Amino acid sequence: MTAVALARPNDRFDPAAPGGRDALAGVTVAEHRRRGRGAGLNPTGRFEPHARESVDDGWEGLADLPSLRTEVREERARSLITRNTSPDIGFDRSANPYRGCEHGCIYCFARPDHAFVGLSPGVDFETRLFAKSNAVEALERDLAAPGYQPKPIAIGTATDPYQPIERERKLTRGVLEVLERTGHPAVIVTKSALVVRDLDILSRMAARGLVKVAVSVTTLDRRLARSMEPRAATPAKRLEAITALSAAGVPVAVLMAPVIPALNDAEVERVLEAAAAAGAAEAGYVVLRLPLEVADLFKEWLARDHPGRYRHVMSILRAMRGGKDYDATFGKRMTGTGPYAWALGRRFELAAKRLGLNKQKHRPRTDLFDPPVPVGGQLSLF
């Protein structure tokens, strides 16, 4: 492994162009090592003083290296609740029990966050995870803070709270137990069928009007899902989860995020129809976002897995983003602009109306909150 300085690709970096892949030398991960992963690159994090690339020095061939395994590190969180002031999302606080996500969705906008811990937003994001082992303790401390005012906590906005390691760690379940006990509202976003494991808690919270679950269904094509979301539940399993949640009385929304031009955009109506039939009552969508390192990771994947669609996808996407790979402007980043964005919005609205979706949007109630007693704190007399 040799440390070298690498120029960062600009926003028009094109791995499909002649010689384009030469710029990826040293950060590309061999196929046999990343099998079952989404990203094909592992570039150095943007805050690191030096970039590193893999070089075969002749002593140990890169082809002999074993496949990558998932590593989980313990992390102690000072606070579990993260605040935001973004005007184009429907919540002002979120909680994520894990950092990094084994689902490996190539388009995940949370990938750049891994650079803050000195790791790569590429393959590292999928294989080097962090579990906030004190998530329950940190959440109770947050909720017990003097002057805390309850509003729905969005769980899973950055990394999936029901990714595979949740089966053993059960941090998300612990968080839900705290929220149920304190009467605190929550909105869950997931693309995992594991959410049905917690139907006992979710159904009780739903009976009190405290919870809503949004299940992400990006495609009904099993092959496409496996390609861009390699370790997430199959589309069929996600629809089954919607059915189980709805049958248990839990308000369910379907979230088609992201919609990718010329790749899954033709499925908008079919996804909504399948979700409505499964029991979803609400629906939403987000156009593909490519912030920071996600742009190069996505483009490399697109050129590798769907080379025939590369130029079409990127051409439409850039037309929606003012000629750039991404525009982070509030009010534009979720939907894009221009004729394509307008047509997509109308298609979605008409399909949702025809299917009876979004007639009434459920917002969890906040008036049942009873803050936990902090360690060493004084119990209430009433």
Per-residue pLDDT reduced to its tens digit, 194-251: 999 999 999 999 999 999 999 999 999 999 999 999 999 999 999 999 999 999 999 9
| Structural domain contains residue 379 | no
For residue 19, the model assigns a pLDDT of 62
For the cut 70, the answer to whether the pLDDT of residue 375 exceeds it is no
For the cut 90, the answer to whether the pLDDT of residue 134 exceeds it is yes
For residue 20, the model assigns a pLDDT of 66
For residue 57, the model assigns a pLDDT of 60
For residue 24, the model assigns a pLDDT of 61
Nearest CA-CA partner of 40 in 48, 49, 32, 31: 31
| Structural domain contains residue 332 | yes
For residue 4, the model assigns a pLDDT of 35
Lookup result for tokens 């790569």: 120
Determine the average pLDDT of the residues in 65-71.
Answer: 85
For residue 313, the surrounding DSSP H or E stretch is: helix 310-320
DSSP state of 9: P
pTM for the whole structure: 0.91
| Structural domain contains residue 30 | yes
Between residues 4 and 62, the one the model is more confident about: 62
| Structural domain contains residue 23 | yes
For the cut 50, the answer to whether the pLDDT of residue 8 exceeds it is no
For residue 18, the model assigns a pLDDT of 63
Q: Each residue of 337-366: pLDDT tens digit? A: 999 999 999 999 999 999 999 999 999 999
Between residues 375 and 173, the one the model is more confident about: 173
Q: Give the domain range for residue 323.
A: 2-354
Q: What are phi and psi of 137, to 5 degrees?
A: -60, -45
Between residues 149 and 50, the one the model is more confident about: 149
CA distance 104 to 159: 10
Confirm if 2 and 59 have CB atoms less than 8 A apart. Answer: no
Among 10-19, 193-202, 259-268, the least confident range: 10-19
For residue 27, the model assigns a pLDDT of 83
| Structural domain contains residue 374 | no
Confirm if 44 and 50 have CB atoms less than 8 A apart. Answer: yes
For residue 90, the model assigns a pLDDT of 86
Beta strand 81-83 with 93-95: parallel, antiparallel or unpaired?
antiparallel
| Structural domain contains residue 380 | no
Beta strand 153-155 with 186-190: parallel, antiparallel or unpaired?
parallel
For residue 53, the surrounding DSSP H or E stretch is: strand 51-53
| Structural domain contains residue 187 | yes
For residue 6, the model assigns a pLDDT of 38
| Structural domain contains residue 365 | no
Q: 39-48, 63-72, 373-382: which has the highest mean pLDDT? A: 39-48
For residue 67, the model assigns a pLDDT of 82
Q: What is the CATH number of the domain that holds 41?
A: 3.20.20.70
For the cut 60, the answer to whether the pLDDT of residue 116 exceeds it is yes
pLDDT band at 10 (very low <50, low <70, confident <90, very high): very low
For residue 340, the surrounding DSSP H or E stretch is: helix 339-354
For residue 43, the model assigns a pLDDT of 92
Confirm if 242 and 275 have CB atoms less than 8 A apart. Answer: yes
pLDDT band at 328 (very low <50, low <70, confident <90, very high): very high
DSSP state of 41: B
For residue 31, the model assigns a pLDDT of 81
CA distance 60 to 51: 21
Determine the average pLDDT of the residues in 139-145.
Answer: 97
For the cut 90, the answer to whether the pLDDT of residue 136 exceeds it is yes
pLDDT band at 7 (very low <50, low <70, confident <90, very high): very low
pLDDT band at 378 (very low <50, low <70, confident <90, very high): low
User: What is the count of structural domains for the chain?
Assistant: 1
